[in-house]
Structure 1
Amino acid sequence: MTATTRITGWLWLAWASAAHGLAACTHHHLGGEAALVITHGGTYSGTYRSAFSGVACVRVATTEPVVLEGCTLTGPGNLIEAGEGADLTVRNCRGQGLPPTADQLAPGRFLDVYRPSRLVVEHNALTQTSGIVVNRWSGSSPTGPTLVVRYNRVRNIDGRWRDGKGSTRSSFLILNTVQHLPRVDIAFNEVINAPDQSLVEDNINLYNSSGTAQSPLHVHNNFVQGAYPFPATADKFTGTGLTSDGDAKTAEEAAAFIEADHNQFVATGNAAMNLAAGHDIYYHHNRAVTSGTLPGGQRFRAGHAALGVFNYYHQPPSVFFNHRVEQNTVGYVSWGGHAPGPDRQDLSDGACAPCTCTVHLPGPITPGTEAREWQSWQQKLRQKDVVVGPLPLKKTARP
């Protein structure tokens, strides 16, 4: 079942870029269309296509609980959009981005949602989209999941414009000003970006977003491979595997109460994990491996350092404080680097004071070392009996 309905209040994100790949949401645009507009709660399944960048596949325009189950979504624009107060579950769906149909546009988001009240995104497959954006939050229930992104299989986050004259800063997941939210779980996502087939900025960006002291925003057991410039042989890049970010002026508004652990970051230009803003952030027991070599044998020249802790926004000590970065395992080739040896930069020079108990992998770090990270990821999935990507549907949802 499809329908075409004018959207009279959809909020589009525009991002103002900053150095080092840090970005902020600055304003919104109105307008746009959708192939299917959902105005009543329920479970929906089907195949939904869009032919134009300005037309979404599905728009959720109700605060009643909606489940998108087993959908196939294809288009050059946003595949799913949801507005204020949405209570949305996206499960077992397949999303395929298409090339933009206008210049100065990137492929659309798999999911673009503004001020939801509950969001679960799990067991999906998304290919050649510009990722997931959660822009602010609207209340939450006192119990149960609030924001869950897990078990998704992701290929080639792509922010490149059609005309080749620029790009949109895109991430697998951006949380923009999602503040003081308990029970946030970002886990067991498998993200692979291929060189010259993708253009991602921070694979995971936590911008002015926070959990609580009792329930930190938790990013764990994800596998992220690939953060490349375009072309991949370029020597400048500002992306990462994960970044805590944000220009907040007060501790109340800053990125905070974030825990990131047991993630694997492989072949990430610029950095694997940056801590650039906020307070009470804890990175531990992660793995960061970059060989400095592209699949064709060329040098990957866009590497800087695996781990960095730097007060990018010059926040005062009342806002930027109480960070821990410990017991991470690192082998990061950065040509011309020197720590812990030639052509290595496991820790950012002068910008990793809280980094302790780092395990430096013995050299040489090669493409074979990266391949073993993939093997260990597969082993972890088997041991924990976890499947990423869509599962077979157990029952038929109504269209």
Structure 2
Amino acid sequence: MKLNYTFYIIILTIICTITPFQHTFGQGSRYTGNYKKSGQVTFTNQKNLVIEGLEINNVEGPAIQVLNCENVTIRYNRITNVGKKPAIYIFNSKNVTIVDNSLENVQSGLVAGTSQGIKFEYNDVLNVLGSLRGGSVIGVMAQFNNVSGAGNSISYNANENLPGQSSTEDIINIFNSNGTAQSPIVIRGNWIRGGGPSTSGGGINIGDYGGSYQITENNILVDPGNYGIGISGGNNMTMRNNKVFGKKNSFTNVGLTACNWYESVSKSHSIRVENNAINYTNKNGLVNTWWFYQNIEPVTGRETNYYDSKINASILPDQIIGRARSGLSPINPDDQTPGGGTTNPNNPDDENPGNGSVEKPGTPIPNLPIINNDPSITIYLDNYNRACINISGRQSSALVMIADSNGRLIHQQSLSSYHTVLPNDPIPGTYYVYVKNGNKEHLKQLQIK
């Protein structure tokens, strides 16, 4: 592959001395493509199914229903105005990934029952309606009900509930569900703003009606309801590194709660609650940081949790819905690769440019550095002719640089997540895309048509 001398210098500079970039992260849907209008859809007894690109509006729900299915991906859909039942309902199914969807004014976002391997990641949910428009059940952004086994996750979603336009119970609820010691149920990196007016519901509730092996970590919650985060029972429960703020409201009570409400079902043990930062004001105007009940003790790490008066509503940015699509994001509290992701390249066969030459009149032509294209980095064009990058094991310093066919640098950015869509609508032509992730790198030529 021949590259202009300028681009050679750019790559060589990156390889030798990489410039630090701010670590950014985008919660919520990253999809910026088109949708096809559709009515409600139900799939029963199917395998290896992809449900994508649908726009479903003004239905009683569920908009998408998956029953007795296996290996299903639900992605790139927009669902609005689902008043009486969950927007997405999963039952008795295995290995279902719900990713990069936008939900608005829905009774609930996702309810998954009696299933295994469920991932609800990188979704935008604006206004959980609950019973506000005739729904007969409580409103949640996402609920696992009797979900079990490995590979279950509710992570990196953005949820905003506007006062008067929403009515939530537990925004995230894990009910009678069991992960495994090697692969706990994970609730990680979600941004939640707004909840209530329920006097019993709140932000994130794990261990509801027991269960085991569940982890809630690195979530940020602002005004989520009666409580912020809580453990309601079960065993092998972990709640760590979360930030919670709640201002005084008629329904607010406590920032963090841990109590076995289902002692008659099972005894609690192996409970860990650590390094959570709380500033929560109850309905009486008193700071009420946490409440631990004796039937869940001993709690490992209890002394590491703390009240922080500096925590306020600004722990979340003004815009959280649609933020990932706009490319805006503050620093992510957690630099771990999310569990899953379903965006795969159309052509997995990757070019390896290897050695090449550069050209510049009157300048000696050096050899292009040998670049061993690491398989953890994939550069490809998707179905919408967009340049995309997938990185497994992304580091905070990961970045991409793009040059045109003449070697001129035209774009660079830090890479904020497993999957990144580069700026839309480039001029047709040849581009060189270089990605560096720690000591791993990848260089590929893309032809935009």
TM-score by length of 2: 0.61
Does structure 2 retain, via aligned residues, the 8 Å contact 1:71–1:94? yes
In 2, the alpha carbon distance for the partners of 1:393 and 1:119 equals: 29
Paired residue secondary structure (2:167): coil
For structure 2, the residue ranges without an aligned partner over 5 or more in a row are 1-34, 321-328, 333-412, 426-449
Does structure 2 retain, via aligned residues, the 8 Å contact 1:91–1:124? yes
Question: 1:384, CA displacement in angstroms?
Answer: 6.0
In 1, the alpha carbon distance for the partners of 2:163 and 2:245 equals: 16
AA in 2 matched with 1:275: I
Larger Rg: 2
Residue of structure 2 in register with 1:269 after alignment: 225
Instruction: Using the TM superposition, name which of 75-84 and 281-290 deviates more.
Output: 75-84
Does structure 2 retain, via aligned residues, the 8 Å contact 1:190–1:388? no
Paired residue secondary structure (2:330): helix
Q: For the structure 1 residues 201 and 275, does the alpha-carbon distance in structure 2 shift closer, same or farther, using more than 3 Å as the test? A: same
Q: Which whole-Å deviations, capped at 9, do the CAs of 1:163-201 have from their partners, x for residues lacking one?
A: 6xx85212111100112x112222110011111100111
Q: Is 1:176 equivalent to 2:123 in the alignment?
A: no
Question: 1:92, CA displacement in angstroms?
Answer: 0.9
Q: Among residues 64, 86, 93, which one is paired with 2:47 in the alignment? A: 64
Q: For the structure 1 residues 82 and 389, does the alpha-carbon distance in structure 2 shift closer, same or farther, using more than 3 Å as the test? A: farther
Q: For the structure 1 residues 95 and 387, does the alpha-carbon distance in structure 2 shift closer, same or farther, using more than 3 Å as the test? A: farther
Q: Among residues 268, 281, 290, which one is paired with 1:347 in the alignment? A: 290
Residue of structure 1 in register with 2:36 after alignment: 46
Q: For the structure 1 residues 112 and 393, does the alpha-carbon distance in structure 2 shift closer, same or farther, using more than 3 Å as the test? A: farther
Does structure 2 retain, via aligned residues, the 8 Å contact 1:240–1:273? yes
Residue of structure 1 in register with 2:284 after alignment: 336
Q: For the structure 1 residues 161 and 290, does the alpha-carbon distance in structure 2 shift closer, same or farther, using more than 3 Å as the test? A: closer
In 1, the alpha carbon distance for the partners of 2:262 and 2:192 equals: 26
Q: Among residues 91, 116, 125, which one is paired with 2:93 in the alignment? A: 116
Question: 1:245, CA displacement in angstroms?
Answer: 3.8
Q: Is 1:319 equivalent to 2:319 in the alignment?
A: no
In 2, the alpha carbon distance for the partners of 1:239 and 1:323 equals: 22
Q: Among residues 80, 95, 103, which one is paired with 1:126 in the alignment? A: 103
Paired residue secondary structure (2:203): strand
In 2, the alpha carbon distance for the partners of 1:94 and 1:324 equals: 37
Paired residue secondary structure (1:356): helix
AA in 2 matched with 1:334: N
Q: Is 1:80 equivalent to 2:28 in the alignment?
A: no
Once the two structures are superposed, the pairs formed by residues 1-399 of structure 1 within 5 Å of their partners are 46-49=36-39, 57-77=40-60, 78-98=62-82, 100=83, 106=84, 108-129=85-106, 130-137=108-115, 146-162=117-133, 168-179=137-148, 181-229=149-197, 237-247=199-209, 254-292=210-248, 300-315=249-264, 319-336=267-284, 343-348=286-291, 350=293, 354=299, 355-362=302-309, 369-374=312-317, 378-380=329-331, 385-386=416-417
In 1, the alpha carbon distance for the partners of 2:418 and 2:94 equals: 27
**Which is richer in strand?**
2
Does structure 2 retain, via aligned residues, the 8 Å contact 1:153–1:388? no
Higher relative contact order (CA 8 A, sep 6+): 2
Question: 1:90, CA displacement in angstroms?
Answer: 0.7
Does structure 2 retain, via aligned residues, the 8 Å contact 1:92–1:391? no
In 1, the alpha carbon distance for the partners of 2:317 and 2:227 equals: 19
Q: For the structure 1 residues 69 and 193, does the alpha-carbon distance in structure 2 shift closer, same or farther, using more than 3 Å as the test? A: same
Identity %: 22
AA in 2 matched with 1:301: S
Q: Which whole-Å deviations, capped at 9, do the CAs of 1:304-359 have from their partners, x for residues lacking one?
A: 1011111112247x63111011100111111436xxxxx10011265685333112
Q: For the structure 1 residues 303 and 387, does the alpha-carbon distance in structure 2 shift closer, same or farther, using more than 3 Å as the test? A: farther
AA in 2 matched with 1:217: I
AA in 1 matched with 2:202: T
Question: 1:65, CA displacement in angstroms?
Answer: 1.4
* Superposed CA RMSD: 2.9
Paired residue secondary structure (2:119): strand
User: After TM superposition, which residue ranges in structure 1, 4 or more long, deviate above 6 angstroms?
Assistant: 387-394
For structure 1, the residue ranges without an aligned partner over 5 or more in a row are 1-44, 50-56, 101-105, 141-145, 230-235, 248-253, 293-299, 338-342, 395-399
